[in-house]
Structure 1
């Protein structure tokens, strides 16, 4: 589950505000009761969107995105910030003749985020033999230039605290793509900046598009955006 503390905060806050509103209605404090009731309903609605996204919506969206890539089954795929394996394992299932590498620092932004948990998930999905896990920083990838056919990332790059660091991660993602390789980077902040960096690197077919309500972390204010690009040439 992504950011479990945020989900818990929305749910508890929504219940508390709604409960207090009921109490205030009981003593005829109508105006503040209405304000609290509206706030409580908004928080509970946000919690519902958040729970749907983290438990189901993001899986459906990524399945569609991977299907649209039209993979042949022999690709080498890199997942930056793979976490427990949401995108990594779905990609691995689509490349029986290829390989999927997941890279992460295994921080606590996701519940149970450990390499061991991801390995267990890979075993459960029957893709252990085509998955490698690497502990490394996406700003300094331990891979050669043009090593991967596809690079994906889901809600990871924004965890880098500074703009230059995020830009470096995007440049590194582009560096390890083969000519003709494709990038899919989903995030809920900085998407247009990522796209600008990719254009500076010489990427083609750079697109930025909204992934819809199934990828809302609490509402439209926390929507997820996809950055798509193709590697054509590299700066020398």
Structure 2
């Protein structure tokens, strides 16, 4: 995996802050309990604090390193001449990794730029990151909703999305986003969606559209947001050739 030169922030920073604060509170309670000679409570708070601290460490690793390692492997299948679309590209973590492989292609990212989903999530930051990574000439950024993509049918050879579709609050909206992704993917094109929620529903939507070459798999420990209970799945699909 190449060294990253851009600034990519933290995924759902409020969650990381919550885990870290919770660990500190539990460890503080453990200290007070031991000082007051309340041993059982102190032991319980200590183990709870260490457990929560480990979860925070897992979350921090994933958002800063782990997800990049997983996506580096997923993107190895690109040939280098594709037109690729990243749904919910944020600051460009996956988009720009893909662009580095597209020496004869182009990477387009679309987002609504909401900072609650990622710290510092702004189009200007994504553009700055593209310049820092040396791929600004092969990257296009679009402000738009993945439920209503401003692209023609079959416009892209590959579509990726990392932890974005679940941010749509309603099931109907998430289904529409997957339908739109299918619409703008060319026949025979590849779709890769990483998410920690709703991937079974995404698969059901694709199968209802006639996609049979589709599978879900566990992305592994490097994509845990705090532990295996918040693991990420990769949905891989190939649109049927015309």
**Residues 233/74 of structure 1: CA separation in 2 closer, same or farther (3 Å cut):** closer
Give the corresponding residue for 1:88: 95
Whole-Å separation in 1 of the counterparts to 2:175 and 2:28? 45
Q: Name the SS of the counterpart of 2:103 in structure 1.
A: coil
Give the corresponding residue for 1:223: 231
Whole-Å separation in 2 of the counterparts to 1:160 and 1:118? 21
Greater than 6 Å deviation, 4+ residue runs? none
Query: Does residue 163 of structure 2 align to residue 165 of structure 1?
Result: no
Structure 2 segments unaligned to the other structure (5+ residues): 1-9
Q: TM-score, normalized by length of structure 2?
A: 0.94
Q: Residues 34-49 of structure 1: matches in 2 within 5 Å?
A: 34-49=43-58
TM superposition shift of 1:110: 0.5
Whole-Å separation in 1 of the counterparts to 2:17 and 2:79? 41
Query: Does residue 127 of structure 2 align to residue 122 of structure 1?
Result: no
Whole-Å separation in 2 of the counterparts to 1:8 and 1:164? 31
Whole-Å separation in 2 of the counterparts to 1:31 and 1:141? 57
Q: What is the aligned-residue RMSD (CA, Å)?
A: 1.0
Q: Name the SS of the counterpart of 2:151 in structure 1.
A: coil
From 74, 88, 97, the equivalent of 1:65 is 74
Structure 1 segments unaligned to the other structure (5+ residues): none
TM superposition shift of 1:31: 2.0
Give the corresponding residue for 2:202: 194
From 127, 141, 144, the equivalent of 2:149 is 141
TM superposition shift of 1:204: 3.0
Q: TM-score, normalized by length of structure 1?
A: 0.96
